[in-house]
Chains A and B, each alone.
Chain A
Amino acid sequence: NAGVTQTPKFQVLKTGQSMTLQCAQDMNHNSMYWYRQDPGMGLRLIYYSASEGTTDKGEVPNGYNVSRLNKREFSLRLESAAPSQTSVYFCASSARTGGLTEAFFGQGTRLTVV
């Protein structure tokens, strides 16, 4: 049981380049999330998908787009990368949004924009 799988694990981009971070979960969860983690700031929500077919902005959505491809997969796209997007990106999933439902995280993608 792999849980939440993210690809790639590492990426270096030049300013202005685009890329898509992939995420897949095998736990039959309804909800999926993208977070970024920066030193001293904790994890911040970029976008989330409460269920298949829906996506919503989190607290730091600017410069990103997402696609909930199906129940298993949720991708994050950077259209024109900027140095401020250098971060570690985590995908997570949960059975549903809200309440006491815990979220399970992938191993992360370390992105550097030069």
Chain B
Amino acid sequence: EDQVTQSPEALRLQEGESSSLNCSYTVSGLRGLFWYRQDPGKGPEFLFTLYSAGEEKEKERLKATLTKKESFLHITAPKPEDSATYLCAVRSGSNDYKLSFGAGTTVTVRA
């Protein structure tokens, strides 16, 4: 069974204070790792797809990286508008039809 674990559960940052979120996974043949952002009362919004160990993707203040066992979402010099829950999901060879999600990390950025 695919397992996705995100840490920490919650992260409080001061504006400008860079930090990283972790997503560790155990799957049978990774087919893709996905990062989503979810604002309160909204649906998840797609951010990045990663596939190969060593791969990196960037969007504004966010950078996602991937190793064979985990992914990191780095938030550089965050702003209050980066406050959200960040979700990690994987597709695997044994469950290629679905995304298996972690429980998420809730990030709060104070001005």
Contacts and interface: CB of A to CB of B under 8 A. Distances in A.
B96 A99 contact: yes
Contacts, number: 61
Interface string B85-108: 001010100001111011110000
Interface in A1-53: 4, 33, 40-45, 48, 50
B98 A58 contact: yes
Interface size for chain B: under 10, 10 to 19, 20 to 34, or 35 or more residues? 20 to 34
B49 interface: yes
A108 B87 contact: no
Interface string B31-51: 110101000011111100101
Nearest to B104: A42
A44 to B, nearest CB: 8
A40 B6 CA distance: 11
A43 B97 contact: no
A90 interface: yes
Interface of A: 4, 33, 40-45, 48, 50, 56, 58-59, 90, 92, 97-108
